[in-house]
Structure 1
Amino acid sequence: MTGLKLFNANGGVTEVTPRLAAVEADVQCLVEANMETMLGVRFLASEYVIDCADGGRIDSLGIDENNAPVVVEFKRGTDAGVIHQGLYYMSWLMAHKDAFRNLVRDRLGVTVASQILWSAPRLICVAGDFTRYDAHAVREHRRSIDLVRYRYFGSDHFGLETVASVTGHSVEVKRVRRRAPGAPPVRQQGGAMAELAAAVDEVLVGLGDGVNRVQRKQYCAYQRLRNFACLIPPQQTKVLVYLKADPTAVDLVSGFTRDVTGLGHHGTGDLEVQLRTERDLERAQDLFRLSYAAA
């Protein structure tokens, strides 16, 4: 049971009693209609019928900010089978990539369909509650799984709380080029900006429990349910980080922060932070926390 308490402070303090949905479909319809805002996932399909011997219907299919496939399963209350059911659907999805690719192409276009991040599929389970065994079970799997508890508060408020979040493990095989006899050793990329980027990575991962790192060619995303930061590979003189913080709520400083709303760039987020020194990283940490809290 969630420990969050919500109070109405108008003319005194009155507790707003949390409640579950009358039926599972109420939660599903609300989240599907607002999936990008609530989960950072672009909605693709509802009650998607899978074509296999055992059959089944995936509650919701989507694709997240990093173009990773997402399966979303809903339960009104506590259901011990929700994780296994979701993993079954994820296995089907990974074995039928063409079906998902066609769905993305029809809904979002050819460009997005060509950029699907197959190495990082996600399962999001939205339910009234989870047991401690559920939270333990997700840590034993190799998939990216988010357990999200919901509650209605009165007639006007709806809350989502992440109970557990685990990043999946993908196996990447890299070819190692043999060095010819007598050839000089290959220089490793590094330098001050690479060291600064490593320090940024450490700070972002350490902001709280359940921070997932998603590596793409053009950027590395840091997410809770949604991306809160994107780190660009270091340039010669600076490291760029894009945050979900609202640029209009921040005092912009020339050469340090910039509003990039509507401007094309790799990753997600409308606030660009430019880091050149360890001092810049220190003064950026409040912005990192602000973006983390908003994700």
Structure 2
Amino acid sequence: MSGLKLFHTTKSGVTEVMPRLAEVEADVQGLVEAHMETLLCVTFLASEYVIDCVEGGRIDALGIDENGAPVVVEFKRGTAAGVVNQGLYYVAWLMAHKDAFRNLVRGRLGASAASQILWSSPRLICVAGDFTRYDAHAVREHRRSIDLVRYRYFGSEHIGLETVASVTGASVGTKRARRRAVGLSSVGRRDGAMAELAEAVDEALLGIGDGVTRVQRKQYAAYQRLRNFACVCPPQQTKLLVYLKADLKKVDLVPGFTRDVTGLGHHGTGDLEVQLRTPKDVERAQDLFRASYAAA
């Protein structure tokens, strides 16, 4: 467990709130499933989903994230011996049985959601009391999108979640690959300045902290640390739009630079729109990027 400690403050002093594991695995599973959208930004679909195959098996939970990607969630009360391999087995089954998942989404969320599933980026989220260093290493070497999330109860009313490792299945190493990933193949030839601006934003968001991954949808690129903290739309002729999950009460809106789009339709997630036109705007937006990342 990390060195983070929680204290309860009173007028007479402070008292440490000791962390603890769940009494049984079902306790943490039930809590996360009941509040999955708040805790993981994943819409809950099914619990203890029985898979139809020769070997058999039961997926702890199935969901779909805010980008439309299928999500397998596996739980362990304590140290997660074998949970990553077990979860990857279920992800492989899911990708081989897309109709079953599509029907599940259609039944819970409707035909529109079922038609927009992001099959290119299935995710595995493992929630456990702890992980070994071998788990973290294996995750970084794998081609799938995997999040290792450590939990702790604090007292009877609080639960903490900590992302131990997070990787995306899409490896974007070269400059050419990065340009394709953020929708710059044709834009770069037409407008070099906007292409460079988009690359600068991509590098700034990927390098903002640990565990940042990028998920590419047709309409936007989502940057996430377990959940989205920024969504970048393809460059327009004169500007690049970035949507953040910043606390709007703490943001001084500046016309032509930042805008509250709460309730307004747009691609991606987040209610703060940032309009970038020059490299100086990217520097100007760094504090907003960091605030959204910290809240993710």
Q: TM range, normalised to the smaller chain?
A: over 0.9
- Greater shift in the superposed pair: 107-116 or 240-249: 240-249
Residue 278 (structure 1) aligned with residue 279 (structure 2): yes
Asked if residue 244 in structure 1 is aligned to residue 231 in structure 2, the reply is: no
Aligned to 2:88: 87
Partner of 2:9: 9
Deviations 1:4-40 (A, max 9, x none): 2111122211111000000101101111111111111
Q: How do residues 46-65 of structure 1 correspond to structure 2 at under 5 angstroms?
A: 46-65=47-66
1:262 aligns with 2:263: yes
Deviation at 1:189, TM superposition (A): 3.5
Say which SS state the counterpart of residue 67 (structure 1) adopts.
Answer: coil
SS in 2 for 1:76: strand
Structure 2 counterpart of 1:201: 202
Distance in 2 between the 1:80 and 1:22 partners? 18
1:176 equivalent in structure 2: none
Tell me the amino acid that sits aligned with residue 22 of structure 1.
E
RMSD between superposed Cα atoms in Å: 1.3
Q: Provide the rounded CA distance (Å) in 2 between the counterparts of 1:33 and 1:207.
A: 31
Distance 2:226 2:87 in 1: 17
Runs of 4+ in 1 over 3 A off after TM superposition: none
1:54 Cα offset (Å): 1.0
More helix by share: 2
Aligned: 1:67 with 2:68: yes
TM-score by length of 1: 0.93
CA drift of 1:74 comes to 0.2
AA at the equivalent of 1:117 = L
User: How many angstroms apart in 2 are the aligned matches of 1:82 and 1:3?
Assistant: 24
Cα offset, 1:280, TM superposition:
1.2
Q: Which structure would you say has the larger Rg? A: 1
Query: For residue 130 of structure 2, what is the aligned residue in structure 1?
Result: 129
Unaligned stretches of 5+ residues in structure 2: 173-187
| Distance across 1 between alignment mates of 2:227 and 2:167 | 13
Structure 1: state its 5+ residue gaps: 172-186
Q: Is the 8 A contact 1:242 1:270 kept in 2?
A: yes
Report % sequence identity.
82
> In the alignment, residue 274 of structure 1 is paired with which amino acid?
Q
Relative to structure 1, is the Cα distance of residues 107 and 258 closer, same or farther in structure 2, using a 3 angstrom cutoff? Answer: same
Give, as a single letter, the amino acid of the residue that structure 1 aligns with 2:256: G
The one-letter amino acid paired with 2:3 is: G
Q: Which residue of 1 aligns with 2:27?
A: 26
Task: Give 1:170 shift.
Answer: 7.5
Match of 2:146 in 1: 145
Residue type of the alignment partner of 2:153: Y
TM, length-normalised to structure 2: 0.92
CA deviations 1:75-129 (Å, max 9, x no partner) are: 0001311011101100100000000000001111111110111110000000000
| 1:107 alignment partner, SS class | helix
Aligned residues: 280
